[in-house]
């Protein structure tokens, strides 16, 4: 029997575990991470940093644990997914470590000077703790979720929880939920959670479960409007209601990045489920409509203005007599102008990338800390500076591989719910990378989303590790050989007709 | 569901490919632009870490870098006050002059240097900076600066430019009052900022390069342009007679006076060359009215008026102005004697003289002769470039004769008579207690090699001949 077989859709499916390939790539991912730590130390102090061993060993133990769980409980899983996630998480950690050292030095100086320090910045320890928690979530998901179909039974509960957590920060006082113009956090003590990250997964699960049940009805029964056939209200209704609630909540919370994600998610999943291209057309029309309306929302129009031409808004754009001057908010008010927005972060991010050029300054040798939030929203440009174009292409390729592997699992699996689920999460993952990376590289207006696995932030890390666990589970079931039918050729009777 | 899944997969991967293209565009082709963006503060902090190449002039090092600690260099300027219009400076927040325009070559980040040392780039070794050789002649620069400093009255300004007639290379460019560029090259941004504020508040704006970035009324030196117009499009020659009798402004009826003692020479209908040598205001105010604004403007524009000269990257001059909006008769007459709304940069007047001296061919002025890599190989060399032919060779030779006459028998004869130099004097009244004294010309009288413009702000008793011609003579003697 051949090792490579194809499923009924004609997709080649590996039917043997690829444990050694996975382990090899995992070790490679770890080598890159530890080399990253080493380079930071060598560049800064000329010696291997003490942190390298601690953080390296910590991440190594976590990676080994995750490998054992995958090898034991999802042996047929795609061998690339786990190493890719560890690689991205690892270099993200190395970059945060690099930025953390820098601010630590500043902080020490400030404390010595007797200044009061309120610290909210890159923290390697916190990120490593979150990584540990993320990998534990990953393992638990794989252990508990032996068959993805289990999720299908609870889709309404999951959908309701997703919606609840999405809406929660909007109802909490700003002191708990607000920061940087958006209300999307829940802060308890020193911990802050972005529940939207989990809602995203929950809603993909809900949409997948709902659409699997209704897809036949939705694609066949309905009223025709010219060339477009719309499903019955009772089929489309619930999903539309939830979707509108989601977008409404996100608008209230000023979280337009997530709104774009949900919109793309909704359109792509409807299209996959119904196999009707009209949905993409309707989505495009709605998107065009949103593009016309969005500039009327102040928070959005600022982002668009600073995207189109950021220079006048550098370090604050102040409109005085119809002309925009570079002026901070305070000075602007003093001159009787109208303060609009600040493009300093966006432009510093671009300067950071420009500094990096093709080969980068080398880890620890650039000045990525000049960009505000260089360790979270703008970590991509930090990589651009220190690893250059070369490094960014590697990172984007790693993302592309995760998406491709997820989509491959979706196509390979036989179960329709798993198909939709894997397709949905893979697409939303790609869209999220597009929105945040496109935002910081001024391809599209900037909206705050986390850069998966790289950016500092607990919720995002946990949610993305769960996402990888789900893809691994689905790819494992897709590639697992079907139980062999009993074949006993020796017993076959040959009827002699002679 | 596999068909739509495949399509969605392609869409998702397309999004990532778009990101890759964009990242390539930014870091591959926009990187240099982003690095030198004026809003980008990085370029100014890392700048001290480069072993910048020197800026030289005729074997003299004007700017050099001195290592001050493990990582940083200090920029040192020789005679900062003298050479500030050439070198400019690098401060914690900006770079001017050649320091600004040639920054990439000086600090070694320019592609022309890094490509040669691609291996160094790969291992992260910084390329050493290139040497920028200017066309300045130190002795002429010194003569120019000393001359304008001595001739300028307290609180006022002066400037001098000398260019090579054949090539357009700037041989001297001095500005007064000046400043010590070293004061701004400190690594301490508070100190640099303080120095900058102090200089900006000083009289005469020391940091402004008066030789090309400030405009002055040209006074009678503008009569070169009037005469060029008359010869080119007014159907006249240097020997054409023209009414030199007392002139009254057409609108106000005011009498336009000639300089004291010239009443006799500026009467009747002398040849144009005679009026030019005696600098008869009556002749040229009347001539402006006869020629008309359109012809004067067209000729001025051919010389380069109303647009800046790009001398070097990042070093553009201010524009000399001849009014483009229709003027009344009085204003038009005043424009003929270089007053009213006519203003010029010293560089512009030097270029007028250069075109006259070069048989009508105006060359592009430049300051950088050669750029060499640390291994002495040539990275760039000045390309002589003809800007245009504002006047015919015939007109040019007549104008040359007219300007020789000024020295031999005219307004400059009492000061530089007998010297091998030619030019046109100008004394512009400002109404503010000082005169703008000009001497614009070339030397030697035959086969000219250097063209110049000198302006100094002297007292209300001064004149272009007394105040500026001696400086011009010192400059050309230093050059020749």
Nearest CB partner across the interface for A411, out of B2, B34, B46: B2
What's the pLDDT at A2?
41
Q: What is the three-class DSSP state of A309?
A: coil
Mean of pLDDT over chain A: 82
- pLDDT digit string, tens, across residues A228-261: 667 777 777 777 777 787 777 777 777 778 888 8
- pLDDT digit string, tens, across residues A75-109: 999 999 999 999 999 999 999 988 886 655 555 66
Cα(A228)–Cα(B6) distance, rounded to whole angstroms? 23
Nearest CB partner across the interface for A423, out of B8, B41, B124: B8
Q: Is B248 on the interface with A (CB under 8 A)?
A: no
> Which residues from chain A sit within 8 angstroms of residue B35, using beta carbons?
351, 354-355
Compute the average pLDDT of residues A374-381.
Answer: 90
Q: Which of B325, B324, B323, B358 is nearest to B338 (CA)?
A: B323
Compute the average pLDDT of residues A455-480.
Answer: 91
What's the pLDDT at A112?
65
What's the pLDDT at A3?
46
Q: Cα distance from B71 to chain A (closest Cα, Å)? A: 13
pLDDT at A11 over 90: no
Cα(A451)–Cα(A453) distance, rounded to whole angstroms? 6
What's the pLDDT at A163?
84
Q: Cα distance from A494 to chain B (closest Cα, Å)? A: 42
What's the pLDDT at A8?
55
Give backbone dihedrals phi and psi of B15, rounded to 5 degrees, phi first. Answer: -55, -45
List active site positions of B: 220
Nearest CB partner across the interface for A388, out of B7, B15, B27: B27
pLDDT at A1 over 50: no
Torsion, Cα of A454, A457, A462, A465 (10° steps): 0
Please count the residues of chain B: 480
- The pLDDT > 90 percentage for chain A reads 30
pLDDT at A464 over 60: yes
Which has the minimum average pLDDT: A320-324, A457-461, B142-146, B397-401?
A: A320-324
CB contact under 8 A, A271 and B11: no
CB contact under 8 A, A389 and B27: yes
> Which residues from chain A sit within 8 angstroms of residue B17, using beta carbons?
400
Using only the alpha carbons of chain B, give its radius of gyration.
26
String of DSSP letters for B278-291: HT-HHHHHHHHHHH
Asked if A485 and A219 count as a contact pair (C-beta separation under 8 A), the reply is no
Q: Cα distance from A423 to chain B (closest Cα, Å)? A: 7
Cα(B328)–Cα(B249) distance, rounded to whole angstroms? 10
Pairing of strands A323-326, B55-57: unpaired
Q: Which residue has the tokens 């001064």?
A: B462
CA nearest to A362 within chain B: B124
Q: How would you label B311-322 residue by residue, b for 16+ Cβ within 10 Å and e otherwise?
A: bbebbebbbbbb
Q: Cα distance from A190 to chain B (closest Cα, Å)? A: 33
Cα(A404)–Cα(B209) distance, rounded to whole angstroms? 61
What's the pLDDT at A31?
92
CB contact under 8 A, A404 and B2: no
Q: How would you label A18-29 residue by residue, b for 16+ Cβ within 10 Å and e otherwise?
A: bbeebbebbbeb
Candidates A272, A274, A405, partner chain B, best to mutate (most B CBs within 10 A):
A272
Residues of A (386-425) whose Cβ lies below 8 Å from B? 388-389, 392-393, 396-397, 399-400, 403-404, 407-408, 410-411, 416, 419-420, 423
Residues of B (13-32) whose Cβ lies below 8 Å from A? 13, 15-20, 22-24, 26-28, 30-32
Q: Which of B50, B292, B10, B146 is nearest to A268 (CA)?
A: B10
Please count the residues of chain A: 498
Q: Which parts of chain B have pLDDT scores under 50?
A: none
- pLDDT digit string, tens, across residues A201-210: 998 999 899 8
Q: Which of B40, B67, B66, B64 is nearest to B54 (CA)?
A: B64
Asked if B326 and B371 count as a contact pair (C-beta separation under 8 A), the reply is no
Q: Cα distance from A142 to chain B (closest Cα, Å)? A: 24
The complex's ipTM works out to 0.89
What residues are paired with B442 via a beta bridge? Answer: B422, B451
Strand intervals (E) in A41-111: none
What pTM was computed for the model? Answer: 0.69
Within 10 angstroms of residue A401's Cβ, the number of other Cβ atoms is: 18
Cα(B333)–Cα(B338) distance, rounded to whole angstroms? 9
Q: Which residue has the higher pLDDT, A123 or B425?
A: B425
CB contact under 8 A, B27 and A357: yes
> Which residues from chain A sit within 8 angstroms of residue B1, using beta carbons?
272-273, 275, 416, 419-420, 423
> Which residues from chain B sit within 8 angstroms of residue A383, using beta carbons?
none
Asked if A375 and A95 count as a contact pair (C-beta separation under 8 A), the reply is yes
What's the pLDDT at B169?
97
CA nearest to B22 within chain A: A443
> Which residues from chain A sit within 8 angstroms of residue B31, using beta carbons?
353-358
Q: What is the three-class DSSP state of B135?
A: coil
């Amino acid at each position: 029997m051949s090792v490579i077989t194809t499923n009924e859709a004609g997709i080649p499916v590996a039917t043997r575990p690829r444990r050694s390939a996975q382990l090899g790539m995992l070790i490679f991912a770890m080598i890159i991470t530890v080399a990253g730590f080493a380079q930071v130390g060598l560049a800064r102090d000329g010696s291997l940093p003490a942190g390298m061993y601690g953080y390296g060993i910590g991440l190594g133990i976590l990676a080994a644990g995750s490998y054992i769980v995958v090898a034991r409980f999802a042996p047929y899983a795609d061998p690339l997914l786990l190493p890719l996630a560890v690689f991205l998480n690892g270099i993200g950690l190395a970059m945060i470590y690099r930025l953390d050292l820098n601010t630590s030095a500043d902080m020490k100086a400030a404390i010595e000077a007797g200044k009061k320090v309120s610290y909210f910045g890159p923290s390697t320890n916190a990120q490593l703790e979150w990584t540990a928690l993320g990998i534990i979530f990953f393992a638990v998901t794989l252990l508990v979720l032996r068959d993805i179909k289990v999720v299908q039974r609870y889709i309404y509960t999951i959908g309701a929880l997703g919606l609840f957590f999405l809406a929660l920060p909007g109802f909490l006082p700003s002191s708990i939920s607000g920061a940087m113009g958006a209300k999307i956090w829940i802060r308890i003590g020193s911990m802050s959670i972005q529940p939207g990250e989990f809602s995203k997964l929950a809603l993909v699960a809900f949409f997948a479960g709902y659409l699997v049940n209704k897809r036949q009805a939705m694609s066949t029964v309905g009223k025709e409007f010219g060339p477009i056939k719309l499903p019955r209200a009772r089929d489309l209704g619930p999903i539309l209601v939830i979707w509108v609630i989601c977008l409404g909540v996100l608008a209230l919370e000023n979280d337009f990045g997530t709104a774009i994600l949900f919109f793309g998610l909704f359109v792509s999943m409807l299209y996959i489920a119904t196999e009707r291209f009209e949905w993409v057309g309707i989505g495009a029309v709605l998107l065009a409509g949103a593009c016309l309306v969005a500039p009327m929302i102040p928070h959005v129009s600022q982002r668009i203005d600073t995207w189109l031409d950021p220079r006048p808004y550098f370090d604050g754009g102040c409109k005085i007599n119809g002309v925009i001057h570079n002026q901070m908010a305070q000075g602007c008010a003093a001159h009787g102008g109208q303060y609009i927005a600040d493009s300093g972060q966006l432009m510093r991010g671009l300067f950071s990338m420009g500094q990096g050029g093709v080969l980068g300054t080398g880890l620890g040798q650039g000045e990525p800390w000049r960009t505000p939030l260089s360790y979270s929203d703008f970590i991509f440009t930090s990589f651009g500076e220190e690893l250059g174009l070369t490094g960014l292409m590697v990172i984007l390729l790693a993302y592309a591989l995760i998406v491709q592997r997820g989509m491959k699992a979706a196509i390979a699996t036989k179960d329709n719910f798993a198909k939709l689920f894997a397709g949905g999460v893979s697409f939303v993952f790609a869209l999220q990378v597009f929105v945040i990376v496109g935002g910081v590289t001024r391809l599209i207006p900037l909206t705050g989303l986390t850069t998966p696995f790289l950016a500092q932030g607990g919720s995002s890390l946990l949610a993305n590790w769960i996402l990888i666990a789900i893809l691994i589970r689905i790819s494992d079931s897709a590639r697992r050989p079907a139980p062999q039918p009993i074949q006993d050729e020796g017993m076959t009777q040959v009827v002699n007709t002679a | 569901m596999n068909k739509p899944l495949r399509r969605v997969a392609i869409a998702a991967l397309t999004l990532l490919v778009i990101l890759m293209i964009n990242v390539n565009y930014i870091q591959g082709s926009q990187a240099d632009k982003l690095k030198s963006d004026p809003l980008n503060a990085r370029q100014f902090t890392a700048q001290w870490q480069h072993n910048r190449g020197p800026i030289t002039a005729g074997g003299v090092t004007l700017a050099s870098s001195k290592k001050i600690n493990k990582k940083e260099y200090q920029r040192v300027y020789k005679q900062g006050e003298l050479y500030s219009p050439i070198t400019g400076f690098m401060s914690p927040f900006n770079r001017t002059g050649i320091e600004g325009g040639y920054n990439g070559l000086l600090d070694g980040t320019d592609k022309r240097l890094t490509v040669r040392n691609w291996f160094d780039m790969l291992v992260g070794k910084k390329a050493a900076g290139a040497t920028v050789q200017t066309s300045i002649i130190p002795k002429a620069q010194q003569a120019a600066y000393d001359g304008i400093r001595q001739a300028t009255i307290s609180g006022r300004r002066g400037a001098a430019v000398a260019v090579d007639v054949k090539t357009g290379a700037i041989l001297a460019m001095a500005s007064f009052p000046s400043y010590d560029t070293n004061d701004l090259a400190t690594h301490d941004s508070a100190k640099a900022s303080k120095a900058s504020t102090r200089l900006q508040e000083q009289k005469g704006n020391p940091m402004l390069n008066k030789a090309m970035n400030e405009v002055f009324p040209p006074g009678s030196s503008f009569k070169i342009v009037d005469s060029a117009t008359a010869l080119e499009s007014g159907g006249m020659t240097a020997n054409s007679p023209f009414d030199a009798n007392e002139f009254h402004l057409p609108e106000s009826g005011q009498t336009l006076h000639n300089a004291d003692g010239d009443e006799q020479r500026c009467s009747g209908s002398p040849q144009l060359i005679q009026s030019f040598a005696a600098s008869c205001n009556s002749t040229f105010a009347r001539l402006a009215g006869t020629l008309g604004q359109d012809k004067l403007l067209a000729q001025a524009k051919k010389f380069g008026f109303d647009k800046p000269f790009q001398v070097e990257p990042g070093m553009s001059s201010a524009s000399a102005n001849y009014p483009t909006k229709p003027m009344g008769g009085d204003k038009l007459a005043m424009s003929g004697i270089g007053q009213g709304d006519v203003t010029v940069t010293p560089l512009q007047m030097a270029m007028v003289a250069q075109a006259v001296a070069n048989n009508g061919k105006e060359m592009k002025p430049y300051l950088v002769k050669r750029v060499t890599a640390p291994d002495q190989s040539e990275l760039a060399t000045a390309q002589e470039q003809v800007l245009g032919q504002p006047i015919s060779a015939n007109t040019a030779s007549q104008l040359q004769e007219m300007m020789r006459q000024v020295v031999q028998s005219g307004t400059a004869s009492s000061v530089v008579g007998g010297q091998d130099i030619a030019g046109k004097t100008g004394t512009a009244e400002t109404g503010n207690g000082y005169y703008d004294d000009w001497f614009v010309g070339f030397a030697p009288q035959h086969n000219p090699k250097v063209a110049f413009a000198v302006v100094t702000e002297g007292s209300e008793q001064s004149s272009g001949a007394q105040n500026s011609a001696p400086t011009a003579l010192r400059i050309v003697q230093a050059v020749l």
